[in-house]
Structure 1
Amino acid sequence: MARRLAAALAITAGLLLGGCGADYGVDQHGNAVQAQQLDGHWLVLNYWAEWCGPCRTEIPALNTAAKQWQAQGIKVLGVNYDGLQGAELKAAADTLGIDFTVLAQDPAEHFKLPRSEALPVTYIIDDKGKVREQLLGEQTLEGLQAKIKALKGGA
């Protein structure tokens, strides 16, 4: 009986997860990141690594941006450059003090992003899913605000 229940649960979970093709996997806390949470929003997608000094320096600005832009529907997301998963991803994000959502699954293919050899790299993606800007190097809150304002047409 227990085996049947386990098998039924595994099949159900597989069907549920299989239907989430457009979803973004899980975050650093293991919570599902659904497409409806991100699609239709402007995204600031930042690639970081623990060993990257400029990445560490820009995290507070990205944390502030994530809080400030929440009401405007602009989402700040992180992706670990080294592909850390699970507990390692959570530990690295905690070490750097990242408060915004870190995607465990790299969305590069979804957004057709080029693989950057330099870090940090930040992409600004519009509400239609189009990459509008690739920013290399450490970002500041003021710089990101100005870039988004310009891309949105001064709105």
Structure 2
Amino acid sequence: MGLGLRKFGKAVLSICAGLLLTACAEDYGLDQHGRKVTAESLDGQWLVINYWAEWCAPCRTEIPELNALEEELKTQSARVIGVNFDALQGDDLKRAADSFDIRFTVLAQDPAVRFELPRNDVLPVTYIVDADGKLRERLVGEQTSAGLQAHLKQLRGQ
């Protein structure tokens, strides 16, 4: 009986350790408001990651489309995430995001390494990352909400 109890104890310990490690997934840093973006809030969802800059004219016309897309995605296990191409931080990032009226999360820390996104020298650029964190598509140029929805549906096999 003692041997069975030890095996059970080891199994429970392994499960608890696994759950703790899962809960400790690396967070995404801060958003444009200085709030922490947790791994729990984004992991397991499809992500539409858009790079933008203040000097990019097409970015200005694309942002309202991305705002609309974020609203549409709320019930679809998907999110729009912004990244400032010029790596603005703190108050500078907040000011720039506010000037564009960005209503989705803008990460202060570039997630390119996390998702193995290729460096791009042209803006705007949008990456679609699946729920497993795998890059599925790279779209260069201005996007629309309807066009991005169509890409998501196709990639999801819907």
TM-score (norm 2): 0.84
Q: Which residue does 2:81 correspond to in 1?
A: 77
Check if 1:146 corresponds to 2:130. Answer: no
Match of 2:65 among 61, 65, 69: 61
Match of 2:108 among 101, 104, 107: 104
How far does residue 46 in structure 1 lie from its aligned partner after superposition? 0.2
Give 3-state SS (helix, strand or coil) of 2:73's partner.
helix
Q: Which residue does 1:90 correspond to in 2?
A: 94
Q: Which residue does 1:13 correspond to in 2?
A: none
For residue 80 of structure 1, what is the amino acid of its counterpart? N
How far does residue 41 in structure 1 lie from its aligned partner after superposition? 0.3
* Stretches of 4+ aligned residues off by more than 3 angstroms: none
Shift in CA distance, 20/102, structure 1 to aligned 2, threshold 3 Å = farther
Aligned residues: 136
Give 3-state SS (helix, strand or coil) of 1:71's partner.
coil
In structure 1, list runs of 5 or more residues that go unmatched.
1-18
How far does residue 20 in structure 1 lie from its aligned partner after superposition? 6.1
How far does residue 152 in structure 1 lie from its aligned partner after superposition? 0.2
Q: Which residue does 2:129 correspond to in 1?
A: 125
Identity of aligned residues (%): 61
TM-score (norm 1): 0.86
In structure 2, list runs of 5 or more residues that go unmatched.
1-22
- Contact 2:25-2:39 at 8 Å conserved across structures: no
How far does residue 84 in structure 1 lie from its aligned partner after superposition? 0.1
Larger Rg: 2
